[in-house]
Amino acid sequence: MSFSESNTFSAESMAHIARIINDINAGVWEYNTDTKQVKWSVGLYAALGYAPGEIECSYNYFFDHLLYYHDKPAFLKTTYHPRHGGSPVAHIRLLTKQNGYQWFENTTKRHETSDGPIIHGVLTNINALKMLEVELAESNFNLAETGRIAKLGSWEIDIATMGLKCSKEMMEIFELTEDVKMTMEDSISYFEPQYRLLLTNIVNDAIRYCKPYDVEVQFKTAKNNVIWVRCKGMPVLNDYGKCVKLRGIFQDIDSIKKKGINMQSSINLLDDQNKRLQNFAYIVSHNLRSHSGNLKFMVNLFEESRQEEDRAEIFSHIKTISESLSATMGHLDEIVKIQSEITRERKAVDFETMFNNVASALQTNITATNAHISTNFTDCRQIDYIPAYMESIFQNLLTNALKYKHPDREPVINITTQKTGTDVYLLFEDNGVGIDMARYGDQLFGMYKTFHRNSDSKGIGLFITRNQVEALGGNIQVESAVNVGTKFTIKLV
C-alpha cells in the first residue's frame, strides 16, 4: 500500500486507503528531501499521544524534539541508501506526550518520484515488546552470572537421540570453548578413571529405571586440572512413565570439597589422638594396678612367711616392683613431657650431627652387635625440629633395630632423609627379625606392646616416637616382613 503504487488503485480506493492509513495503529510519515515537505498520518500523532496539528509537523521538530538523541544515528541510517550502509529498520525512542520516551520500530523506504526523492516510513510502538526483551536479557544475564559465580552448569540429554546439550557455564567448568560438541561418552571420559564406570551406571539407571542421582566425583578438565564436581541428574518422564529426557546440574565444588576433606582428616587425627589418650589411660591404670597388686601380694606373703630364705626372695621381688613402679612413673613423665615440650622452640637440627651423637651414646650396643650402619642425609641435611624429639626418635629407632636384630646375621641399618616438595621424610631400614604386620600391625605403636620374648622389651619406645612425630604434625608408617626386616617411613614435617 505504497503511495507510489497509486496508479493501480482507483480514486475511491485511494481515499479508502488514506483513511486506513490514518486509522491504523501505526504512524506513517513522508518526507521529500528536496522540498523538505513532511506529511504525518493521524496515527503518528496518536501514537505519540497528540491530536493532529498539536505539534509542529516538520523534520526539524521530529529530529530535535521527539527523537531521543542517542537514537539519532540509528534513525539516520534508515534513510541512507543500502549502498551506504543503510538498513531499513531501526528501533528508536520517541518522546510521547504523557508516557515519556517509548520504543518504536521505524521502517523506512526511499523512492525517486517526479517531485524528487521521497522517504516514507512506518512507526509502530514496540515498547511492551522491547521491555520484555530487556527483562529477558537481564534475567538471562542474572542466570548466567549466578551460574558463573556458583560454578554451576546445566545439561540435558534427549533420550531419543542421546544428544547432549550443555550450558555455557558447564563448558566453562570443562574448560572447553562453547562451540565444542560433546556426546555423553565424551563427557564421561573427562571424569577420573575410577569414577567412569559409576557414572555410566548411574546414567543408565536413570534412563532405564528413572532413578535420580547425586554424586560427588573427581574430574579432569580439558586443561588437565583435577577438580571435585557434583553431578546431579533427574529423569524427565512422559505420560507413560518412560524417561524421555535426563536433566541435571554440574557444579565445581572443588574448594568446598577440599575444605571438607581437610576437615575430615583433622577429625580423624583428633579421633586417633583421643583413642590413644583413652588407650593410654587404660594402660597406665593396667600397669599401675599390676605393680600395686603385686606389691600388695608380696607384702602379704612376706608377712605370712616364716622361713628366712622365702622372706629374702619375697623382699627381692618387692625391690623389683619398686623399681618397676619408678620406671612406669618415668615413662609417664616422658609422655607428659612430649606435650609440655611441644611449646618449646624449634631449632635447626642437623641430621648428621644429631645421629652421630645418638650413635656414640649407643656405641657399646653397636659394637656388641657388629652393626653396619650407613647414613645418607644429602637430600635434606637440616630440619626445624625440637632437638629433644629428634634425639629421642633416632635413639628409639636405633635401639629397636639393634635389639631386634636377626639372630643369624649382623644388623645392616640404612638411614636416609628425603625431601618431597615441602615434606621431609626420615627413612629407617633394618634387616632384623621383622614384625608380623598382619598380626601386630595395629598394635605396633601401642604402649607396653611387645611382640618378642626379649627381656628388655618394654613396649614404650615406638609409642613415644609416634607421639613425638604426631605432636609436630607428622606421621609414621611401617613396612615389615618376618625374618626380612623393618622399614619405618617418618614424615617429619
Binding site for other proteins (CB under 8 A): 282, 285-287, 289-290, 292-294, 296-298, 301, 304-305, 310, 313-314, 317, 320-321, 448, 450-453, 457
Q: How far apart are CA 441 and CA 145, in angstroms?
A: 53
CB of 236 to other proteins, least distance (A): 53
Residue 313 or 350 having the CB closest to other proteins: 313
The nearer residue to other proteins, 290 or 420, going by C-beta atoms, is: 290
Q: DSSP 3-state assignment of 133?
A: helix
Helix (H) or strand (E) holding 73: helix 72-79
Using alpha carbons, select from 168, 172, 101, 162 the residue that is nearest to residue 140: 168
Give Cβ neighbours of residue 52 (< 8 Å, ≥ 6 apart).
40, 42, 45
Q: What stretches of 126-225 adopt beta strand conformation (E)? A: 152-158, 163-166, 213-220
Residue whose CB is less far from other proteins, 281 or 368: 281
CB nearer to other proteins: pick between 223 and 453: 453
Question: Do 368 and 405 meet the contact criterion of CB atoms below 8 Å apart?
Answer: no
Nearer to other proteins, 140 or 290 (CB): 290
Nearer of residues 264 and 320 to other proteins, judged by Cβ: 320
Residue (298 or 386) nearer to other proteins, CB: 298
* Sign of CA pseudo-dihedral 175, 181, 187, 189: negative
Cα separations (Å) of 384 from 330, 337, 354, 388, 424? Answer: 27, 19, 13, 12, 10
CB of 411 to other proteins, least distance (A): 21
Closest separation in Å from C-beta 407 to other proteins: 16
Q: What are phi and psi of 311, to 5 degrees?
A: -60, -40
Spatial strand order in the sheet of 372-376: 372-376, 412-420, 423-430, 485-491, 475-481
Residue type, 346: R
As measured in angstroms, the least distance from the Cβ of 486 to other proteins is 17
Distance CA 190, CA 174 (A): 8
Q: How far is the CB of 365 from other proteins (least distance, A)?
A: 21
Residue with Cβ nearer other proteins (97 or 286): 286
- We find the least distance from the C-beta atom of residue 296 to other proteins, in angstroms, to be 5
| CA atoms in the 13 A half-sphere facing the CB of 147 | 19
Name the minimum Å distance from CB 289 to other proteins: 4
Distance of alpha carbon 119 from alpha carbon 79, whole angstroms: 7
Q: How far is CA 368 from CA 175, 364, 374, in A?
A: 65, 6, 17
Strand partners, 427: 416, 489
Shortest reach from residue 450's CB to other proteins, in Å: 5
Residue placing its CB nearer to other proteins in the complex, 27 or 432: 432
CB of 395 to other proteins, least distance (A): 22
- Considering the complex, what minimum distance in angstroms separates the CB of residue 371 from other proteins? 24
Q: Are 58 and 38 a contacting pair, CB within 8 Å?
A: yes
**Alpha carbon distances (Å) from 448 to 112, 436, 462:** 110, 17, 9
Q: Residue 324 Cβ, how far from other proteins at the closest point, in Å?
A: 9
The single-letter code of the amino acid at 315 is: F
Residue that the C-alpha cell 635401639 belongs to: 399
Identity of the residue, 375 or 450, whose beta carbon is nearer to other proteins in the bound complex: 450
AA identity, residue 60: N
489 vs 416: CA distance, rounded Å: 10
CB of 430 to other proteins, least distance (A): 20
Residue indicated by cell numbers 521521497: 118
Q: How far apart are CA 5 and CA 308, in angstroms?
A: 146
Shorter beta-carbon distance to other proteins: residue 229 or 447: 447
Identity of residue 168 = K
Q: Cβ closer to other proteins: 50 or 280?
A: 280
Helix (H) or strand (E) holding 272: helix 254-304
